[in-house]
Amino acid sequence: MSVVLLLLCLGVTGVRSGASDHRYKPDETVPLYANKVGPFHNPSETYRYFDLPFCTPEHVKEKREALGEVLNGDRLVEAPYKLEFRVDHESKSVCRKKLSKEDVAKFRGAVAKDYYIQMYFDDLPLWGFIGKADKEGKSDPSEYKYFLYRHIHFEVLYNNDRVIEINVQIVPAAVVDVTEDREVEVEFLYSTKWKETVIPFERRMEKYSKSSSLPHHLEVHWFSIINSCVTVLLLTGFLATILMRVLKNDFIKYAHDEESAEDQEESGWKYIHGDVFRFPKHKSLFAACLGTGTQLFALTIFIFILALVGVFYPYNRGALFTALVVIYALTSGIAGYTATCFYLQLEGTNWVRNLLLTGCLYCGPLFLTFCFLNTVAIVYSATAALPFGTILVILLIWTLVTFPLLVLGGVAGKNSKADFQAPCRTTKYPREVPPMPWYRHSIPQMAMAGFLPFSAIYIELYYIFASVWGHRIYTIYSILFIVFIILLIVTAFITVALTYFQLAAEDHEWWWRAYLCGGSTGIFVYGYCLYYYHARSDMSGFMQTSFFFGYMACICYAFFLLLGMVGFRSSLLFVRHIYKSIKPKPSRRSPKTHPVLAPKPSRRPKTHRRLRPRELLLSLAKTKKTPHLLLLSRFSALHPSLLGSLSLADSEASPRLSC
């Protein structure tokens, strides 16, 4: 626990750097760090700043980074530009360098791929392209001209002793032609201009958050919210109306059936009351999925809480990754408790195996994906490749925090000794599921269940993708939280509806179906990844493609587990409610009594209340509708003594019974 808290403190302090210390005296050097360079359209394919042949100092000073910054791919080094507080420079030389043919080829390739530079000045981000390509009037790429920028102009705004804003401009006339492979002599220059402003220090980050909260962007976000709300209202109203009508008719029908003859055959969802709570196959895997989904749900809620209180402000480097690692480790006990408790309710025996399966259900695929993608990043020499020390820290967190909390949660779940509390008794032998039409099979039902929740969030997905896999800034976390709540509601309602129709068709194997239908939205989100990659982005290359589809597969898998848990929990609550609301069919056997207080059964044959002969004959003749002679012959055979007591007056008064 101390390791995690220490890393959390390092992550927060390393990112925020102490806002109260951002005060400078005149002529004092303000730190400027160069972070990384890379293709503008491939955000995951970034390299160290000095991988390109810029002016390199004798001793490169690297900035110590927190865990989240390293996971984000940040590799900050001290830039070769020296900026003193409130000191202007005009065309100050950085270095004079002779570029070799190899250096020229590197710069030309970088300019052709739209490489950009990212820097941080007093923790304020700034970007700039390293060159430009002249493509006007040329259709053949071999005729393009490539130029390298060699003069950067920094314009800095300050308020008293604090830095408020910084902008980077390129001097268009100061360029170097790097089209041909030849040695080039170049001098890199920079200039600085300081201007005073009245913007307070507390508002200096508003510039970076405005891009995501412009009026036209807000209109689109609210349109997404309205679209989702309309979907929820229509779906909720439709399902509520249908289910209330159908269930009301079912309850009336079954109540009438109970008052009618006992031999009448039942049908519908009540017919399978003895099988609906039969435990599913692969109960260990099912409980592990439920526990992992519950943990991911708790993780998402905690992340939203941190976002809503303002922890993830723009360019808070690595804060999100640090929070994900720490909160996932701390919530592993939820997964262990939920999985083990539910597994024992399903009458499982090997709870240790179930606990290990729970711990590896999500971490296993994520670790394998990371190993492959980290190997690709190492081959490309990209900053996305994690150092060995960072990998060791993550393994220590998993070993010393995640796994022990998982075991503690499992032990607590084992000792809880909670029962499943099924409202109906399960029969000994399972009932055969009747044949179903094709649209009632699992895959069509999953397609139907995943489409409606996806339609409620697909507009907001574009902005999330543009932020995660692009250079947009996403700061409207309140709207994102509303969309998440809508997603949960739609998933719960559509899964409950499909579960009811499955039970009404006398298919009692609903456990896995409810989980798969709830989690099918994750499959639709991964399908949207294919559309976004080919139609809405300019990403290319093996590394960027593998990173995009690899990590999005892990994210969609997490959505599958989370929403599957929501769908199953909603269906379980619904199924328990409807089967608890019906009265069990009365048995023809004598009711069960207490084994000790029950009276001993009498061995004498069961006797009926003695009826008068005339009343008995009338009752039998009325109910059995048998011929009179046959009725009297049977009665005389059973009760010969009573037949002689029939008086002549009775026979005359009842000619229907006379011989």
Supply the DSSP symbol for 62. B
pLDDT in tens, 397-414: 999 999 999 999 999 999
Burial label, 629 (beta-carbon count in 10 A; 0-12, 13-18, 19+): exposed
DSSP state of 460: H
Q: Are 52 and 102 in contact (CB under 8 A)?
A: no
Indicate the average pLDDT of the chain. Answer: 83
Ranked by mean pLDDT, the top range of 73-82, 253-262, 295-304 is 295-304
- Mean pLDDT for 435-454 is 92
Question: Residue 1's pLDDT is what?
Answer: 45
484-532: per-residue pLDDT in tens? 999 999 999 999 999 999 998 889 999 999 999 999 999 999 999 999 9
Q: The tokens of 117 are what?
A: 């530079």
pTM listed for this prediction: 0.82
pLDDT digits (tens, 9 = 90+) for 523-575: 999 999 999 999 999 999 999 999 999 999 999 999 999 999 999 999 999 99
* Alpha carbon distance 508, 510 (integer Å): 6
CA 88 remoteness from chain centre: 51
Q: In what side-by-side order are the strands of the sheet with 89-99?
A: 89-99, 184-196, 151-159, 162-170
For residue 131, the SS3 value is: strand
**DSSP conformation letters of 500-532:** HHHHHTT----HHHHHHHHHHHHHHHHHHHHHI
- Closest by CA to 470, choosing from 521, 526, 532, is 532
In three-state form (DSSP H/G/I as H, E/B as E, the rest C), the secondary structure along 35-47 is EEEEECCCCCCCE
Asked which of 143-152, 172-181, 228-237, 485-494 is least confident by mean pLDDT, the reply is: 228-237
Q: Which residue has the tokens 């990590």?
A: 551
Length of the chain in residues, anyone? 659
Cβ-based neighbour number of residue 510 at 10 Å: 22
Burial class (CB in 10 A: 0-12, 13-18, 19+), 96: exposed
Mean pLDDT of the 405-429 span: 89
Q: 176 pairs with which residues across the strands? A: 148
pLDDT band at 418; cut points 50, 70, 90: confident
- Using DSSP, state whether 115 is helix, strand or coil: strand
Instruction: Using alpha carbons, list the distances in angstroms from residue 312 to 7, 307, 316, 614.
Output: 17, 5, 6, 92
* pLDDT tens track for 314-330: 777 789 999 999 999 99
pLDDT tens digit sequence for 193-216: 999 999 999 888 888 776 554 454
Question: pLDDT grade, residue 249 (50/70/90)?
Answer: low
Give the Cα separation of 192 and 620 in Å (integer).
Answer: 114
C-alpha to C-alpha distance for 618 and 312, rounded to whole angstroms: 88
- Per domain, the residue ranges of the chain are 25-204, 212-419+448-581, 619-657
d(CA 551, CA 296): 16
- Percent of the chain with pLDDT strictly greater than 90: 59
**Gap between the terminal Cα atoms of the chain:** 99
Separation of alpha carbons 339 and 357, rounded Å: 10
